[in-house]
Amino acid sequence: MSRFVTRRAAKIAAALAVAALALSACGGDNTQGPAFVAPKVNATPSPTTPAIPFEFSITPADKKKDLPVSTEIGTKVSGGEVTSVTLTDKSGKSVKGNLRDDKSSWVPSAPLKYDMSYTATVVATSAAGQAETKKISFSTRGRSGNDIGSGLYLFDGKTYGVAMPVVVEFSPGIPKKDRAAVQRRLFVQTDPPQPGVWHWVSSGTQAYYRAPDYWQAGTKITVRAALEGIPLSNGRVGDQDRKATAKIGDKFVMKVDNKTKKMQVLKNDKLVKTFPVSLGKPSTPSSSGTMIVMDKQEHTIFDTFAELGPEEGYRTEIDFAQRLTWGGEFIHSAPWSVGDQGVRNVSHGCVNLAPGNASWLFGQTKVGDPITIKGTERKLEAGNGWTAWNLSWSDYIKGSALPVPAALKGSPATATPTPTATD
């Protein structure tokens, strides 16, 4: 039908198969082979690797003041490892937290309190078993009042489609110089494990997290955007911590080909439906690319007067609308174009379906289900919707503000081809 514009602003577990070569001997019954004795060789002592000196330091500096509530207890150890970290506030109450996987720091499970004194006790043990304890005290600053807005497009207890990226939104966008620090405060756990990578849109207003391939059906995703109090170079600070645990449902994929003007619907990789569609006419084409269902509205109103003006604008009630882009491309019911569906494109960029087909599809889809459209006059613009899947994996990981683990850099064993659209 039409375009409805609403502007909104690692460690991978790589399993390597190792072939164990075993040598065996076979012999006949009641026979004895010749005895082979290895020649005597004077052994040369192997050079020994010098022991790494045990060194241990922590941050922040003792008696440091005015620290952000996002402060972590940094740990640096050589010739040993951190064995315990304890953090207590001035009343002696313990603060929960965990070491990062690389043990570079200990992260509190929730933001620290404002204007509060803390004491950290860290124990490290050398390879030889020597334990050393370091203790520091520090205090946090008060509230800034100059927060940066943030949002997490993942809601606790919800079920999403297999292409659902973890999406964190920022307003205004995060400056490039701050993105690595912010990204280090974005935590994602998946069960079963499917490690992924963060990707920043150029404006810094959104960051996506996805794996090399779609999530496995049944995956549990736990997210923490630990942003409260994190200082940025533009004088702003993170507004709050956001958490969610969600589930991935059955694999449900839609594919639209402009040449045939048909939609194929696959559930768990099996074709279940084929629908005729009408896409955007040449003057207002639909976008070719891999998009994601971002929102679903059983009944809504498309009002285009603000965008198109009084001559071309209109206000129309729409059923079974599923948003695909911020620019206003939807899948929706279009009873007025049933005769055109499967034959010609007449919409302003949306995917038109007959009412019965649109109703059935609406009842099946989830936010996070992917749709790939190919063969139209326009390519999907980066950031126009959740476009995390509209890039090859090798291009996608270039958007990370932190180094990408070697195991995630595109090895065929770890990065299956991304289902991008072609013209």
Is 357:275 a contact under the CB 8 Å cutoff?
yes
Distance separating alpha carbons of residues 287 and 380, to the nearest angstrom: 5
- SS3 letters across the chain: CCCCCCCCCCCCCCCCCCCCCCCCCCCCCCCCCCCCCCCCCCCCCCCCCCCCCCEEEEECCCCEEEECCCCCEEEEEECEEEEEEEEEECCCCECCEEECCCCCEEEECCCCCCCCEEEEEEEEEECCCCEEEEEEEEEECCCCCCEEEEEECCCCCCEECCCCCEEEEEECCCCHHHHHHHHCCEEEEEECCCCCEEEECCCCCEEEEECCCCCCCCCEEEEEEECCCCECCCCCEECCEEEEEEEECCCEEEEEECCCCEEEEEECCEEEEEEECECECCCCCCEEEEEECCEEEEEEEEECHHHHHHHHCCEEEEEEEEECCCCCCEEEECHHHCCCCCCCCCECCCEEECHHHHHHHHHHCCCCCEEEEECCCEECCCCCCCHHHCCCHHHHHHHCCCCCCHHHCCCCCCCCCCCCCCC
Place of tokens 């404006």: 203
> Catalytic annotation on 332?
yes
> Catalytic annotation on 350?
yes
Please identify which of the residues 26, 199, 348, 350 carries the catalytic annotation.
350
Active site residues: 332, 350
